[in-house]
Amino acid sequence: MAGAARLVPQPSDGQKFPSPIRSYDVHIYFFQKDDASRETARCLREECIEKFPDLNIYHFWEEPIGPHPTGMFEVDLNTPDQFTRFVPWIQVNRRMLSVLVHPNTGYPLLDHTVHAIWIGEKVPLITSMLPAPATG
């Protein structure tokens, strides 16, 4: 199960974020070339899977992907309840790893930068890979 993604049902109307937020992504970063950092992240991911079986917890990326310059794994938060349970938990259990929490509003560049919440050290993202909002 270590590499498999799990998909859970989408929220009902009563369990949604205020518009324009559709959901939140949480990215937990590690240094993929450092054995200790990689193993710390792998153990944290397994703990997330165990403690939060209702969350979508995705692949353990051991190489940079998209705008993410280091290894990482992602947790999706589809309801306010999931957000209020997971974010405080990861804040105190992150094992010194950097964590990005960002909304999904349909504007990826803004969501990963202006709207982002960082827990721990901020990781410089490759923002040129994110589409900018249309100007008009």
DSSP 71-136: EEEEEEE-SHHHHHHHHHHHHHHSTT--EEEEEESS-HHHHHTTT-EEESSPPPP-GGGSPPPP--
60: which 2 tokens?
Answer: 């353990």
Q: Is residue 3 part of a domain?
A: no
What's the rounded mean pLDDT across residues 49-71? 97
Quote the pTM value.
0.88
Query: Are the C-beta atoms of 5 and 60 separated by less than 8 Å?
Result: no
Give me the number of domains the chain comprises: 1
Nearest residue to 55 via CA among 32, 79, 30: 79
Q: Is the pLDDT of residue 4 over 80?
A: no
Q: Can you give the residue range of the structural domain that contains 109?
A: 20-128
Confidence of residue 38 (pLDDT cuts 50, 70, 90): very high
Q: What is the CATH number of the domain that holds 43?
A: 3.30.70.1240
The CA–CA distances, whole Å, from 69 to 21, 23, 43 equal 25, 23, 21
Q: Is the peptide bond before 20 cis (omega within 30 degrees of 0)?
A: yes
% of the chain residues with pLDDT over 70: 88
